[in-house]
């Protein structure tokens, strides 16, 4: 039931005023829910050490209870307290990538409630780099559990408006700052004897990780097929980021062939009289505009060569497609390297694993 009055706190140049910080800290201490910006996506924060507060996160999002939450802190000493054991390999990653878009899964300290961990013996920890997030975490000294601040199954929120659209009336506060910079979630890794294992690709690329550690990618992190059997990370099992209309994703190693297949599929489906949404790079959308575009709604993601721009726009574009009420969606895939791996993972899940290969 949406009966809570959701209050908005507006930041000024990326920071909250001292009285606003006090208001958020006191809200968290009372077990309330506060959505706040991070450099990746907006998070829905509550006191990670209060089982009652964390249960409310799951309820507001409609999130399956076996999917653990990431715990956010303001400095490494707090992170060390949350981990039952902080191996040297994790310290090296923390040193290099914190504050930033990396979540490290470690054995959990006993005082972290089971509900926060989704019942696992481990906990995912991250120090975000967004100035507002750091301000709140450092001044509160609290450990804040924060999943993405969207309804489960919807695209993650990259603006306060996205959070409002999903959660108004269900949470106490939204901290309003601009669009998030990275636009896809943090990279989730586990650290073990065999090195660093990527469980979810995200804002820190595999190439960046490989500069400081031996890296393997868990097959479930690719998102190219549903995970069968036990998942290394529960989030792999769920079809996230699902637009309302059925979607098909075109992938292939030759960008020209992918572009051609996207145009061909879109025009063929549109000729049948359906309204077709096209989620593709600016170049492909421009080419399509030269055709009969009566039944096409183009949602450009960004210039083909600018993967950072595409990542920053992808969830916004998926929400726009939902609002446009299209019958079917055709999505142009991206090369799965660098930030492209995180984007490809989100697109594959958005398409519900409906992949078409365009190889030539």
- What's the closest the beta carbon of residue 287 comes to ligand TXA, in angstroms? 33
Binding to ligand TXA (CB under 6 A) within 97-136 occurs at 101, 103, 105, 117, 120, 122-124, 126, 128
Q: Is 159 in the site for ligand TXA (CB under 6 A)?
A: no
- Nearest-CB residue to ligand TXA? 235
Stretch touching ligand TXA by CB under 6 A, among 9-17, 61-69, 332-340, 341-349: 61-69
Q: Is 146 in the site for ligand TXA (CB under 6 A)?
A: yes
Nearer to Mg ion, 152 or 295 (CB): 152
Nearer to ligand TXA, 106 or 270 (CB): 106
Binding to ligand TXA (CB under 6 A) within 237-276 occurs at none
Q: Is 37 in the site for ligand TXA (CB under 6 A)?
A: no
- Nearest-CB residue to Mg ion? 148
Q: Is 336 in the site for ligand TXA (CB under 6 A)?
A: no
- What's the closest the beta carbon of residue 91 comes to ligand TXA, in angstroms? 18
- Could you count the other beta carbons within 10 Å of the beta carbon of residue 337? 12
Q: Is 147 in the site for ligand TXA (CB under 6 A)?
A: yes
> Residues touching ligand TXA: how many (CB under 6 A)?
29
157 contact choice in ligand TXA, Mg ion, none (CB below 5 to 8 Å, kind-dependent): none
The phi-psi region of residue 353 (left if phi > 0; otherwise alpha if psi is between -120 and 50; otherwise beta) is left
Task: Report the interface residues with Mg ion, using CB under 5 A.
Answer: 148
Which of 32, 34, 43, 47: binder of ligand TXA (CB under 6 A)? 43
- What's the closest the beta carbon of residue 115 comes to ligand TXA, in angstroms? 12
Please give the residue ranges that form the binding site for ligand TXA (CB under 6 A).
38, 40-41, 43, 67-70, 101, 103, 105, 117, 120, 122-124, 126, 128, 146-148, 185-186, 188, 199-200, 233-235
């Amino acid at each position: 039931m949406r009966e809570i009055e959701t209050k908005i706190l507006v930041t000024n140049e990326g920071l909250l005023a001292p009285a606003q910080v006090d208001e958020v800290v006191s809200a968290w201490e009372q077990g309330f829910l506060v959505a706040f910006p991070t450099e990746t996506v907006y998070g829905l924060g509550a006191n990670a050490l209060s089982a009652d507060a964390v249960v409310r996160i799951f309820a507001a999002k409609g999130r399956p209870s076996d999917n653990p939450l990431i715990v956010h802190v303001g400095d490494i000493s707090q992170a060390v307290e949350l981990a039952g054991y902080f191996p040297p390999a994790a310290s090296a990653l923390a040193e290099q990538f914190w504050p930033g878009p990396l979540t490290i899964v470690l054995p959990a300290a006993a005082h972290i409630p089971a509900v926060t961990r989704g019942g696992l013996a481990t906990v995912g920890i991250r120090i975000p780099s967004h100035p507002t997030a750091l301000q709140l975490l450092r001044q509160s000294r609290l450990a804040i559990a924060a999943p993405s601040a969207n309804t489960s199954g919807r695209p993650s929120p990259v603006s306060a408006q996205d959070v409002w659209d999903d959660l108004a009336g269900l949470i106490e506060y939204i901290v309003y700052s601009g669009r998030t910079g990275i636009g896809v979630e943090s990279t989730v890794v586990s650290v073990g004897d065999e090195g660093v294992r990527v469980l979810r690709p995200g804002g820190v690329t595999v190439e960046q990780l490989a500069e400081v550690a031996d890296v393997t990618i868990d097959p479930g992190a690719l998102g190219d097929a549903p995970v069968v059997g036990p998942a290394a990370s529960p989030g792999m099992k769920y079809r996230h980021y699902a637009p309302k209309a059925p979607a098909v994703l075109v992938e292939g190693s030759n960008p020209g062939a992918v572009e051609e297949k996207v145009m061909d599929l879109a025009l063929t489906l549109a000729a049948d009289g359906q309204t077709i949404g096209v989620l593709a790079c600016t170049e492909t959308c421009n080419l399509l505009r030269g055709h009969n575009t009566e039944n096409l709604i183009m949602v450009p993601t960004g210039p083909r060569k600018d993967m950072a721009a595409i990542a920053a726009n992808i969830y916004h574009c998926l929400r726009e497609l939902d609002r446009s009420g299209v019958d079917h969606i055709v999505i142009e895939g991206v090369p799965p390297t660098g930030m492209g791996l995180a984007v490809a993972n989100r697109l594959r899940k958005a398409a519900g694993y409906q992949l078409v290969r365009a190889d030539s």
